[in-house]
A and B are shown apart, each in its own frame.
Chain A
Amino acid sequence: MAEPVRLTTPLKDEDVEKLKIGDKVLLNGVIYTARDAAHKRLFDLVNEGKELPIEIKGQIVYYVGPSPAKPGQSIGSAGPTTSCRMDSYAPKLMALGLKGMIGKGMRNQEVIEAMKKYKAVYFGATGGAAALIAKTIKKAEVVAYEDLGPEAIHRLEVEDFPVVLINDIYGNDLYEEGVKRYRIED
């Protein structure tokens, strides 16, 4: 594989313009967690025209509900959850300036179109590598919706958080291309 690309948040257009599907990317800086319940709340705030509890511009949202931290850990195991459950919320957040999403699994056409329109990308983290991924999360704190437990929004400080680019801003999809390349017809 080619050398990984290192990126630091917040991301700019130039950062995402150069990325292509299959790129190995190491993320640095701050990323925010949010999954089903937090997305619903953020979405409601946007619809009501209210301010969000986090600055979304240039940021990356990680779809994760970590396991509880053991004493001495900054966070418990923290691998990605299935992204499609956030599809109905994602375009609105991209319209507000969200630049990246981290999860696993397919996105719908609407999300892929929004990525092209707003210059945002979708990264895959390795599902099931939750203990390994947690090693790259140096600090974690809840910044909103503490009542949601593992679904609360956490601010994570990450160092070389490993992801693979699944959807770029040009409409390409690693899942589709990967299958095309390796499929054997009977």
Chain B
Amino acid sequence: MREVPIDKIIEVVRGLFIAANTQLGQDIVEALDRALEKEESPIGKEVLVELKENAEIARREEVPICQDTGLAVLFVDLGQDVHIVGGDFIEAVNEGVRRGYQEGYLRKSACHPFSRKNTGDNTPAIIHVNIVPGDRIKIAVVPKGGGSENMSRVAMLTPAVGAKGVIDYVVQTVEESGPNPCPPLVVGVGIGGSLEKATLMAKRSLLRPLDSQNPDPELAKMEEEILSRVNKLGIGPQGYGGRITALGVHIEMAPCHIASLPVAVNIQCHAARHKEAVI
């Protein structure tokens, strides 16, 4: 068993949330460059240029890309040969979130659903743990903004609608979201599994680099088709009209019940913030 002290986990989580909120991924920067070449709308181009300038300021001055620094979502791949010592793992992750949001000047957005009272430190974090072989811990953080999350949807479709029905549902979800989730978007799609599995896959798919190809050729083709249809909607950057409504579409799929066809669409704004580290 390899021992990992909780202090190490606290430090890594703290740093990842600050980095994810202040440094736009290089894959996104490059996608914005490609989008600028394709966008025809003058106002749309101007928005894309602003987003690039914004990313440069955020990186240089270590300030948040967006004031909505998100709820703290994490995906943890925990090696089964790791022994966590010195305290409670979940509490360590929350302490990392607490310190990252406080010391990184990030906005705390977690509140009680009814009273709307802020929890004050952006905890509790939403932590998805997966046990994997090995003696490492991979931690991926996804600060998730409210504007794009609010436009996300999940549906239990009738199996008879098939792949076309799934594609139509994803395109319709993007169309209905219009300007609200701050396009250009990254669209995460989870197909199959159960209700919660579909949603989880949709979110996890957002971790994949934007310029990477889906390893499953069938899904790669489906991603291309959805992206092409979404970019015909005309919504464009910020919804002001244009060619680039989404920068990418990512799909994860799993077997589902013989009676079901779950599909989840997790809408993400242009920043698609995520950072990961291996301990």
Binding site for B on A (CB under 8 A): 1, 22, 24, 36-37, 64-70, 73, 76-79, 81-82, 84, 104-106, 124, 126-132, 134-135, 149-150, 162, 164, 174-175, 177-186
Q: A1-B43, A128-B65 are in contact. Are A67 and B106 (CB under 8 A)?
A: yes
B-chain residues with CB within 8 Å of residue A179 when the two chains form the complex: 178, 233-236, 239, 241
Q: How far is the CA of A180 from the CA of B236 in the complex (A)?
A: 11
Say whether B67 contacts A181, CB under 8 Å: no
Interface centre among A65, A127, A175 (most CB of B within 10 A): A127
Partner of B234, one of A70, A106, A178: A178
Q: How far is the CA of A176 from the CA of B247 in the complex (A)?
A: 21
Q: How far is the CA of A186 from the CA of B232 in the complex (A)?
A: 8
Q: A126-B47, A182-B40 are in contact. Are A81 and B68 (CB under 8 A)?
A: yes
Q: A105-B178, A128-B271, A182-B234 are in contact. Are A77 and B63 (CB under 8 A)?
A: yes
- 17 new A-B contacts, CB < 8 A, other than A76-B67, A77-B64, are A65-B67, A67-B67, A67-B105, A67-B106, A81-B147, A104-B147, A104-B238, A128-B54, A128-B182, A129-B51, A131-B58, A164-B240, A178-B239, A178-B240, A179-B234, A184-B234, A186-B229
Within the complex, the shortest CB–CB distance from B111 to chain A, in Å, comes to 9
A-B contacts, 10 listed (Cβ < 8 Å): A65-B67, A82-B146, A105-B178, A126-B54, A127-B238, A127-B269, A131-B54, A178-B240, A178-B242, A182-B41
Partner of B50, one of A132, A174, A181, A185: A132
Q: Which residue of B lies closest to A127 (CB)?
A: B182
Q: A82-B180, A106-B180 are in contact. Are A126 and B234 (CB under 8 A)?
A: no
Q: How far is the CA of A135 from the CA of B147 in the complex (A)?
A: 22
Q: A69-B105, A129-B50 are in contact. Are A178 and B241 (CB under 8 A)?
A: yes
B-chain residues with CB within 8 Å of residue A134 when the two chains form the complex: 63
Say whether A79 contacts B67, CB under 8 Å: yes
Say whether B240 contacts A128, CB under 8 Å: no
Q: A124-B240, A175-B178 are in contact. Are A68 and B234 (CB under 8 A)?
A: no
B-chain residues with CB within 8 Å of residue A126 when the two chains form the complex: 47, 50-51, 54, 238
Interface centre among B50, B234, B236, B240 (most CB of A within 10 A): B240
Q: How far is the CA of A130 from the CA of B41 in the complex (A)?
A: 22
Q: How far is the CA of A73 from the CA of B84 in the complex (A)?
A: 39
Q: A36-B116, A68-B105, A104-B179 are in contact. Are A128 and B66 (CB under 8 A)?
A: yes
B-chain residues with CB within 8 Å of residue A164 when the two chains form the complex: 43, 238, 240
Say whether A184 contacts B232, CB under 8 Å: yes
Q: How far is the CA of A64 from the CA of B109 in the complex (A)?
A: 13
B-chain residues with CB within 8 Å of residue A36 when the two chains form the complex: 116
Asked if B53 lies at the interface with its beta carbon under 8 angstroms from chain A, I say yes
Q: How far is the CA of A79 from the CA of B180 in the complex (A)?
A: 13
Q: How far is the CA of A76 from the CA of B64 in the complex (A)?
A: 8
Q: How far is the CA of A28 from the CA of B88 in the complex (A)?
A: 51
Q: How far is the CA of A150 from the CA of B233 in the complex (A)?
A: 35
Contact flags B113-150 to A (C-beta < 8 A → 1, else 0): 00010100000000000000000000000000011001
Q: How far is the CA of A56 from the CA of B241 in the complex (A)?
A: 32
Q: Which residue of B lies closest to A178 (CB)?
A: B241
Q: Which residue of B lies closest to A135 (CB)?
A: B57
B-chain residues with CB within 8 Å of residue A68 when the two chains form the complex: 105-107
